[in-house]
């Protein structure tokens, strides 16, 4: 494989988590954006520990680290007992649907588009565009920590991204 195909983990985060998710949001492919963001939180969280990127049995912990340390504080209250992990990340990863306590929507939705992080009928409302804004800030915050040397960079197998 040629060296020109190699990208750093910082470039990967910028390209996949910031640029590509923005394209999904712009194309109104909200469900796919939620899937990537939910998985992406776990990946962002992986940079907050000292274990290898592909360390086993770290999903819940890494997702929670990203929620607690990179996302706005309000998200942490919804992840009490790992509820957000179970209802968003695990559910989207394993069934491609959210759990019964999370409602995924978008800003133009007439009933829920302005209700991001509100609870209605015991369901947490997540609005794609608003969630993306917070996810993007979390990604940038991680990148800034990496650039300052506060957060260690990790080797990421990103060659595949440019071999499609």
| pLDDT tens across the length of the chain (164 residues) | 344 445 688 888 999 999 999 999 999 999 999 999 999 999 999 999 888 778 798 999 999 999 999 999 999 999 888 889 999 999 999 999 888 999 999 999 999 999 999 999 999 999 999 999 999 999 999 999 999 999 988 777 656 555 44
Q: Please give the C-alpha separations between residue 67 and each of 4, 60, 87, 162, in angstroms, as whole numbers.
A: 34, 11, 14, 29
Q: Does some domain include residue 118?
A: no
Q: Does some domain include residue 114?
A: no
Q: Strand pairing partners for 164? A: none
Cα–Cα distance for residue pair 46/55, rounded to 1 Å: 9
Domains: count for the chain: 1
User: CB within 8 A of 56, min separation 6: which ones?
Assistant: none
Q: Does some domain include residue 78?
A: yes
Q: Does some domain include residue 17?
A: yes
**pTM greater than 0.75:** yes
Query: What is the per-residue pLDDT for 6?
Result: 54
Domain that holds residue 81: 3-95+128-162
Q: Rg for the chain (alpha carbons), in Å?
A: 16
Query: What is the per-residue pLDDT for 161?
Result: 54
Q: Does some domain include residue 57?
A: yes
Cα–Cα distance for residue pair 79/106, rounded to 1 Å: 21
Q: Does some domain include residue 136?
A: yes
Q: How do strand 123-127 and strand 102-105 relate by DSSP bridges? A: parallel
Cα–Cα distance for residue pair 99/104, rounded to 1 Å: 10
Cα–Cα distance for residue pair 132/31, rounded to 1 Å: 12
Q: Does some domain include residue 107?
A: no
Q: Does some domain include residue 120?
A: no
């Amino acid at each position: 494989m040629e060296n020109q195909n190699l990208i750093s983990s910082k470039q990967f985060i910028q390209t996949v988590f910031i640029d590509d998710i923005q394209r999904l949001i712009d194309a109104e492919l909200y469900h796919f954006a939620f899937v990537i963001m939910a998985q992406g939180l776990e990946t962002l969280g992986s940079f907050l520990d000292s274990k290898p990127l592909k360390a086993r049995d770290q999903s819940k912990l890494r997702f929670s680290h990203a929620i607690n340390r990179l996302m706005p504080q309000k998200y942490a209250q919804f992840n009490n007992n790992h509820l957000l992990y179970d209802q968003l990340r695990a559910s989207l990863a394993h069934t491609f649907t959210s759990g019964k306590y999370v409602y995924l929507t978008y800003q133009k939705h007439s009933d829920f588009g302005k209700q991001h992080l509100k609870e209605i009928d015991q369901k947490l409302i997540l609005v794609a565009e608003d969630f993306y804004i917070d996810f993007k800030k979390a990604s940038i915050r991680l990148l800034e920590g990496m650039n300052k040397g506060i957060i260690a960079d990790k080797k990421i197998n990103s060659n595949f991204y440019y071999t499609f």
